[in-house]
C-alpha cells in the first residue's frame, strides 16, 4: 500500500462543490487518509482568469502511479475538464504530486510532480497535512520547501478548514464497486 498525494484545483463553476466531489471520487483508488484546508490562490502562468481554490488529499492505494493518473483523468473529464491551452481556466485540475517515495520519468508521467517544489498553492496545503513528507528528488521535507518560498500570505489564503471536504476520513473506505485494480 502506498500513499498517493493529489493536488486539487478549480477556478470555474462551483469550485468548492467540484473539489468536494473530486475528493469523494478519489475513493475509487482507496481510503482518503488526509485532506488539507481549502486555499484561494492567484492563477499561475495565464493570469487573466478567476482565482483558484486549491487543496491536497492523500489516498492509501494499491494502484500504480500510472493507474492513479488514469483515475485522475477520469474524474477531471467527469467534471467537464477541457485542455484548451496551458494554464487555462478549468473546472477541475488533479495532479499526482507524490506516490510514496517513487521517482519516475516516463512519457506522460513524472513523479514527483516536476514543479511541486516551486508551487505555493501545492506546498502550503501539503505541508499542512504532511509536513515531514520528504521530496524524493530534493531530499528535503515539504515543510522546508514551503518555508523556502518565504511569505506567501498574499498569494495563498486559507478560506476553510479541512471540514470543507464534508467527509469523515474514518469512513472513507471505498465500496467494493469502487476499488480499482492495479
Residue 90 a catalytic site member: yes
Neighbours of 151 (CB within 10 A): 8
CA 145 from centroid of its chain's CA atoms: 17
Residue 61 neighbours by CB under 8 Å, 6+ apart = 1, 2, 3, 4, 29, 30, 68
Which residue in 15, 20, 27, 93 is the catalytic one? 93
Which residue in 95, 100, 101, 179 is the catalytic one? 95
Residue 93 a catalytic site member: yes
Residue 4, SS3 per DSSP: strand
Residue 14, SS3 per DSSP: coil
Which residue in 15, 20, 27, 81 is the catalytic one? 81
Residue 81 a catalytic site member: yes
Query: Whole-angstrom Cα distance, residue 4 to residue 149?
Result: 24
Which residue in 15, 20, 27, 90 is the catalytic one? 90
Catalytic residue annotation:
81, 90, 93, 95
Amino acid at each position: 500500500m502506498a500513499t498517493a498525494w493529489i493536488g486539487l484545483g478549480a477556478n470555474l463553476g462551483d469550485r468548492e462543490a467540484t473539489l468536494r466531489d473530486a475528493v469523494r471520487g478519489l475513493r475509487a483508488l482507496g481510503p482518503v487518509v488526509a485532506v488539507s484546508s481549502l486555499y484561494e490562490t492567484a492563477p499561475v502562468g495565464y493570469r487573466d482568469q478567476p482565482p483558484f481554490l486549491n487543496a491536497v488529499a492523500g489516498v492509501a492505494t494499491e494502484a500504480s502511479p500510472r493507474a492513479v493518473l488514469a483515475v485522475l483523468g477520469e474524474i477531471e473529464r467527469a467534471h467537464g475538464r477541457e485542455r484548451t491551452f496551458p494554464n487555462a481556466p478549468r473546472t477541475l485540475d488533479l495532479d499526482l504530486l507524490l506516490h510514496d517515495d517513487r521517482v519516475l520519468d516516463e512519457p506522460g508521467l513524472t513523479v514527483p510532480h516536476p514543479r511541486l517544489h516551486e508551487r505555493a498553492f501545492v506546498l502550503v496545503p501539503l505541508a499542512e497535512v504532511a509536513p515531514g513528507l520528504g521530496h524524493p528528488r530534493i531530499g528535503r521535507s515539504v515543510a522546508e520547501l514551503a518555508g523556502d518560498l518565504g511569505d506567501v500570505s498574499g498569494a495563498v489564503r486559507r478560506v476553510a478548514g479541512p471540514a470543507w471536504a464534508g467527509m469523515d476520513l474514518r469512513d472513507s473506505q471505498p465500496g467494493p464497486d469502487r476499488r480499482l485494480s492495479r
